[in-house]
Amino acid sequence: MAGFPLKIPPQINRLILLTLGIVGSYLIARYFLTPATFGQYGWYRGAALEEIASRTPVYAGKLACDECHSEKLEMLAKGKHQTLSCEGCHGVSSQHAANPDILPVKMAGSHCIRCHEQNDSRPTWYKQIVVKDHYAGKCRECHMPHNPTEVPEEPQPADQAAKEEKQKPESPEKKPGAVEKAGKAEKAEVP
């Protein structure tokens, strides 16, 4: 075979081996790292559909709330907040719906300013406040979340509100986590 015309120079030979090594590693990695059901229905993992569908719902829905808290829902239906869901403010409640002793999952942060904090991207007709310029106390001292056009007859100091909520833990509106530190009551602009 000394006169074999296709004698490959050593550097080419080494590069071919290196290329085969790199491409081979890629193909092996691809074989192991591509999910088995990828491409079953489209450019995603087919099994993801079943996984997502098998997750237990965490929201109970307004109908479930209506079974015990119909008076709150009636009040809600009269005001500007009629389109809001209960769990949007009170937290996910499927466990609470099944067992009233389990309180809804407490949500972090203030529920009101999630929607009513000043933000340039919101329409101007939308009620907005600049939190640091607004009253520092609790929103519910001056506003009624279930019907925001109404104003509480008596300003509610925070400790009193907390006391009430402790006494009635079954009411999703009055869960202990909703109480914040409050200063003196003061009537503020309705957000």
Partner 1 sequence: MFPALATLVEGVPHFDGFVYPNELLLLWSVLIVIYPYVTGLVAGAFILASLVRVFEVKALEPVYRLSLLTALSFLLVAPMPLLLHLGHPERCLQIMMTPHLSSPMAMFGFVYAWYLMAVLLLELWFDYRKDFVEWSRSEVGLKGIMYRIFTLGVEDVSEPSVRLDARLGRIITVIGIPSAFLLHGYVGFIFGSIKANPWWGNVLMPIIFIFSAMVSGIALCVCLYMAINWGRRIPQDIVCIDMMGKFLFYALVIDAGLEGLDWVHRLYAADESIHILKTLASGKLFYTLLVGQACMGTVVPFLLLGAVQLFRKKIPTLARERMYFVSAALVVLGVFAMRWNVVIGGQLFSKSLRGFTSHKMELAGQEGWLVGLGLIILPFVILTVLLKYFLPANAVLPPRGETSAAPGHAV
Point out which residues bind partner 1 (CB under 8 A). 9-12, 14-15, 18, 22, 26, 29-30, 33-34, 38-39, 43, 120-122
CB-nearer residue toward partner 1: 126 or 160? 126
Joined together, the tokens standing for residue 105 give 């999952």
Q: How many helices (H) and strands (E) does the chain have?
A: 8, 0
Considering the complex, what minimum distance in angstroms separates the CB of residue 156 from partner 1? 32
CB-nearer residue toward partner 1: 21 or 152? 21
Considering the complex, what minimum distance in angstroms separates the CB of residue 148 from partner 1? 23
Q: Which residues contact 104 (CB under 8 A, 6 or more apart)?
A: 87, 90, 91, 92, 93, 96, 172, 175
The CA distances from residue 161 to 31, 141, 154, 156, 187, in Å, are: 61, 9, 12, 6, 17
Considering the complex, what minimum distance in angstroms separates the CB of residue 98 from partner 1? 35
Considering the complex, what minimum distance in angstroms separates the CB of residue 39 from partner 1? 8
CB-nearer residue toward partner 1: 5 or 57? 5
CB-nearer residue toward partner 1: 14 or 166? 14
Considering the complex, what minimum distance in angstroms separates the CB of residue 21 from partner 1? 11
Residue keyed to tokens 């239906």: 77
Which residue blocks in 34-141 are alpha helix, DSSP H? 47-53, 62-68, 70-78, 86-90, 94-98, 111-116
CB-nearer residue toward partner 1: 51 or 154? 51
Joined together, the tokens standing for residue 146 give 């279930």
